[in-house]
Structure 1
Amino acid sequence: MNETRHRVLEALADGPVSGPALAEALGVSRAAVWKHVEGLRESGFDVESGDDGYRLASVPEFGGAAVAYELGAPFEVEYHDSIPSTNARARDLAAEGATDVVVLADEQTGGRGRLDRAWSSPSGGIWLSLLFRPDAPMAHAPVFTLAAAVAVTRAARGAGVDATIKWPNDVLVDDRKLVGILTEMEGEADRVSWVVVGIGINANVDPAALPSDADPTSLEAERGSPVDRRSFTQRVLEEFDALRQSPETVVDAWREYATTLGRRVGVETPSGTVEGEAVDIEFPGALVVETDTGRVTITAGDCDHLRPV
């Protein structure tokens, strides 16, 4: 949403305001005001007009303009009703030099998860990718995956869903998968060029429509009612923005919601399976596992929660 349209929207929210008064305040023509009002209506905003002028009656349930409206984080929002992959689109934007952009979709047709697994992304979910350029070395980039998990977990709990985090990037409810996170990046050893954090949230979707091997759940299923996707998305973006600015706080925040710590785990790593008790996490996101032969620190792997012997 361009700056003038954003200012029109703010004025309408404080309305009613007449077209001539709005044109004078913004330094544009009355025809320009009318075009911006019509543009807002096309985006789903309910703008009423009466003898005393225009006023904003309601905000759309979802979409780029809706999420950007009153968003308390400095992200531009690019919205798609349907897209093959928000991460792929974010990578394209990164190649063009963009930053602080959220690619948001109602549906993905070619979503992927970790290890190139297919990720079902039906209409009614929240599928988004955050593109940003942190001032950090490549070795610290995993902390942003943890930050995303914390941000979504806080948003879910704010919506009445008791979410927890499984290392490194799954948000669960009673071991059922609610959210998947996939982080991609580019840079050199001493500096990140860009990071894309893809977040797939099973929001208002039927778990039966999702792959059964993931043992999925959704916000709607857990709450017994649909979630407000607009406000939920805003909460995720605002929480993530605060965390990315203080990466040193992320690990402690992650520990608060972790379901992996204290459990027996099996972690598939490039050098083999590590089995033992997950006892800690170290910055920027390494899992510490107590095995029969000593402690092992794992920076990347596929983690399973095992049943106690």
Structure 2
Amino acid sequence: MHPTRKQILTTIAERPTSGPDLAAELEISRAAVWNHVEGLREDGFEIESQSDGYTLAGIPDYGGPALEYGLDAPLEIEYHDEIDSTNERARTLADDGHSDVVVVADRQTGGRGRLDREWASPSGGIWLSLLSRPDIPPASAPLYTLVAAVAAARAARDAGVDATIKWPNDVRVGDRKLAGILTEMEGEADRISWLVVGIGLNANVDPEDLPGDQPATSLQSEVGAVDRRAVAQTLLEEFWTLSTVDAEEIMAAWRELASTLGQRVRVETPRETVVGEAVDIKAPGTLVVETEDGLREITAGDCDHLRPAE
């Protein structure tokens, strides 16, 4: 959002302010104030003109300007009503030199998850990709998957849903998938050039529109329709805050929300199947499993929670 428009919104949300007063405060012409106000109205903001000046009467339900307004994180929002993949668009922006941008879509036509699996992305969900350039080596990139999982789980809990995290990248309610994460990067041996973290959260999505290949749920299914703007902003703010702390704080936050720890699990890795009890997680996202042959550390794989009989 244009900085002047953001300042106009902040001012008229606090108190009615006339066009001449806004022009004086912002050191712009009255015509420029009028143009900015009309632009904000076109973006969906309800701005009333009263005898004592402009007042902010309503905020759009969703969209780029709505997400940027009041967002407590220094992130630029690029919004699309429909796009093939927010991750793909974020990678294009990375190639063009951008950073700290969030690509958001109401609907994706080509959403995907880990291992190139299809990810259903109907209208009403929260589909977004965060582009950043953290000063970390490539080996530390999985930390950002953990950050995203914690951020999504916290946002869901803030909306009243008892979400937990299943290693490596699923946010769930019970055994039903609520959100997934796909992290991609480009870099050299000692540093990351760019990092894209895609998050798909089933928000106001009808159950019949969710994928049928695995149990799934949505915030709407659990607690009714939610304020999608508020949930997305909470997610982005939690992500930004967690991305600024050290690895041990991230690990601690992840452990608090993990459903995998303490579970008997089966982990399919590219080389083998590991069965045992998940006992811990280590930076940058390594699952520690206690097997009959001792402790195993697993950096990547598909994890299933097993019932005692299994």
Matched residue, 1:176: 176
Alignment of 1:1-309 (within 5 A): 1-223=1-223, 225-248=224-247, 249-309=249-309
Write out per-residue CA displacement over residues 261-284 of structure 1, whole angstroms, 9 at most, x where no aligned residue: 111111111112111111111111
Write out per-residue CA displacement over residues 248-273 of structure 1, whole angstroms, 9 at most, x where no aligned residue: 21111101111111111111111121
Name the SS for the 2:200 alignment partner. strand
Name the SS for the 1:262 alignment partner. coil
| Preserved CA contact (<8 Å) 1:66 1:230 | yes
d(CA) in 1 for partners of 2:278, 2:255: 12
| Preserved CA contact (<8 Å) 1:143 1:247 | no
d(CA) in 2 for partners of 1:214, 1:41: 42
d(CA) in 2 for partners of 1:49, 1:173: 45
d(CA) in 1 for partners of 2:193, 2:306: 37
TM-score by length of 1: 0.98
Name the SS for the 1:288 alignment partner. strand
Greater Cα shift, 268-277 or 63-72:
268-277
RMSD: 1.0
d(CA) in 1 for partners of 2:55, 2:15: 5
- What is the count of residue pairs matched by the alignment? 308
| Preserved CA contact (<8 Å) 1:205 1:220 | yes
Name the SS for the 2:213 alignment partner. helix
TM-score by length of 2: 0.97
d(CA) in 2 for partners of 1:212, 1:187: 36
Write out per-residue CA displacement over residues 162-219 of structure 1, whole angstroms, 9 at most, x where no aligned residue: 0000001000001100001000011112111111100000000012211111211000
d(CA) in 2 for partners of 1:174, 1:122: 22
Deviation at 1:15, TM superposition (A): 2.9
| Preserved CA contact (<8 Å) 1:94 1:194 | yes
Q: Which amino acid aligns with 2:246?
A: P
Q: Percent identity?
A: 66
| Structure 1 consecutive aligned stretches of length 4 or more whose deviation exceeds 6 Å | none
Deviation at 1:52, TM superposition (A): 1.8
d(CA) in 2 for partners of 1:116, 1:291: 30
d(CA) in 1 for partners of 2:189, 2:261: 30
- Unmatched runs of 5 consecutive residues or more in structure 2: none
Name the SS for the 2:229 alignment partner. helix
Name the SS for the 1:38 alignment partner. helix
Name the SS for the 1:212 alignment partner. coil
Q: Which amino acid aligns with 1:179?
A: A
Q: Which amino acid aligns with 2:43?
A: S
- Unmatched runs of 5 consecutive residues or more in structure 1: none
